[in-house]
Amino acid sequence: MILLDGKLVSEELKKQIAVEAAELLEKTGRKPHLVAVLVGNDGGSETYVASKMRNCEKVGFKSSLIRYDNTVTEAELLNKIQELNQDKEVDGFIVQLPLPKHINPDVITEAIDYRKDVDGFHPINLGRMQRNLPCFLPATPYGIMLMLEYYGIETAGKHCVVVGRSNIVGSPMSILMARNAKPGNCTVTLTHSRTQNLKDFTLKADILIAAIGKKNFITADMVKEGAVIIDVGMNRESSETTKSGYKLFGDVDFDGVAPKSSYITPVPGGVGLMTIVSLLKNTLAAAKREIY
Ligand code: GUN
């Protein structure tokens, strides 16, 4: 079993990003600038956004945080998005999800200029992704592709089973793995909450991507010997034994599954760290105006 080490890979890729950001600063006098919009104070979102901002500074980007409380209206948020779309000092921006119930995330996502949509959630970016055209890829799936690439894991002709069909992870992941690209060229099965006899599918997976948001959902009996296991789970539970006051659990029962796997991502220390690298890569591409 080989551990897919998100810490190692993300640090390496961040070094390359920092070099490119320094070159861009030298050439243009500007740092790539990422803006994050955060609504409310969901514990997970707070942590993720703080980490995004911190990592921007680490690689020599400028970052700004715009906060609203839970009572912000959709119209107010749309106004801010228009402003950010037009602001030449902003290369890319994200609106952290989830949003309060009275705000429609699809309306917000579509209002973002696709050329600044470094989350890769806009339908133009999703459509271009499906066609293998230049676009911003959604951060978590992109991070998984970078991880597979880094470790030289062969994907062509393999059976990839994705568990979970979210807009952010499962659905785009299934498209990326099926594309005629490297990594890619998988036979893909996308499973979800209505899938019957899930285990029949997961047992056939050469590459299993778990993105369901349920702690230790994938157990050893559901996994084929030698499978590549990618755990996207970010299940937070409060804990008195950690400094942060919470503990993170994956969707995969690591202790049970790891001995059967060829490669496996830990939680924490796996996919989560790669997601941030993708956001940085997208922001750099936005600053270079590579997507237009
Ligand atoms: N919430 C969970 N993951 C993400 C992400 O990648 N981007 C945004 N904007 N919100 C998220």
pLDDT tens digit sequence for 87-142 = 999 999 999 999 999 999 999 999 999 999 999 999 999 999 999 999 999 999 99
Question: What per-residue confidence (pLDDT) applies to 119?
Answer: 98
Name the residue type at position 141.
P
CA 259 to CA 219: how far, in whole Å? 12
- pTM value > 0.85: yes
Q: What separation in Å is there between the alpha carbon of 59 and the centre of ligand 1?
A: 20
Domains of the chain: 31-115 (3.40.50.10860), 139-273 (3.40.50.720)
Q: Secondary structure of the chain: what % helix, strand, coil (to 5)?
A: 40, 15, 40
Residue with the smallest CA separation from ligand 1 atom 11 is 97
Question: What per-residue confidence (pLDDT) applies to 120?
Answer: 98
Q: What separation in Å is there between the alpha carbon of 225 and the centre of ligand 1?
A: 32
CA 242 to CA 250: how far, in whole Å? 17
- pLDDT tens for each residue of 218-234: 999 999 999 999 999 99
The answer to whether 67 and 50 have CB atoms below 8 angstroms apart is no
List active site positions: 52, 96, 119
Average pLDDT value for residue range 57-67: 98
Ligand 1 in reach of 109 Cβ (< 6 A): no
CA 236 to CA 234: how far, in whole Å? 6
Take residue 175 and report the two structure tokens written for it.
């498209």
Nearest atom, ligand 1, residue 234 CA: 2
φ/ψ of 291, rounded to 5, equals -110, 120
- pLDDT tens for each residue of 184-200: 999 999 999 999 999 99
Residue with the smallest CA separation from ligand 1 atom 8 is 96
Question: What per-residue confidence (pLDDT) applies to 72?
Answer: 98
Nearest atom, ligand 1, residue 275 CA: 6
To which H or E segment does residue 141 belong? Answer: helix 139-150
Q: What separation in Å is there between the alpha carbon of 208 and the centre of ligand 1?
A: 22
Ligand 1 in reach of 139 Cβ (< 6 A): yes
